[in-house]
Amino acid sequence: MFDDGWFVTVVDRKSPKERIFLREGAAENSKGLKLIKVDKNADDYLKTTVVVNNGGRQITIGYNSADIKSSIAKATKVTSKPRTTNRPPIPSATKKPSVPTSGASTRRPRVRRTPTPPVPRSK
C-alpha cells in the first residue's frame, strides 16, 4: 500500500520468471490486466486476495502457498560458501620465547620518568 493506492506484483504460473506489475487506478496494461481492488487479510497475508479485470472478466488472484513453501525449502537447502575477500589476513602477535632469565620478571619494565624542576618565572 502506497499513498496513491495499492501496487501489486503478479507472477504467471506458466512463466514464473515473468512479473506483471499492476497499480490501483491505472489503466489496463499491455496484456489487458487492470487492478480493481485488494482484499487485505490483517491476520494472515497468505489469505490476501486481489481482484483483476482481464478483458472484461473479473479474476480473483491469491497467494500460491505451495510455491512459496517450495521456494523457501530450496533457499534453505543452499549451502553457503565461505566468503572470499581481498583483504589481507589480520596479523597475530608473535610469541616470544618463554624462558625467563634468572630472577627477571616476564613483565615489560616500566618507563621511569624523572620530573624536571619547574622553571622560575620572571616578574
Stretch 84-101: mean pLDDT, rounded?
69
d(CA 95, CA 47): 63
Question: What is the pTM (predicted TM-score) of this model?
Answer: 0.50
d(CA 115, CA 94): 35
Out of 27-31, 53-57, 74-78, least confident range: 74-78
The strand order across the sheet containing 57-62 reads 33-39, 49-54, 57-62
Burial class of residue 22, CB neighbours in 10 A (0-12, 13-18, 19+): buried
What pLDDT was estimated at residue 105? 60
Residue 75's φ and ψ, nearest 5 degrees, are -65, -35
How far are the Cα atoms of 8, 36, 83, 91, 95 from residue 88, in angstroms, in the given order? 46, 56, 13, 9, 21
C-alpha cell at 30: 499491455
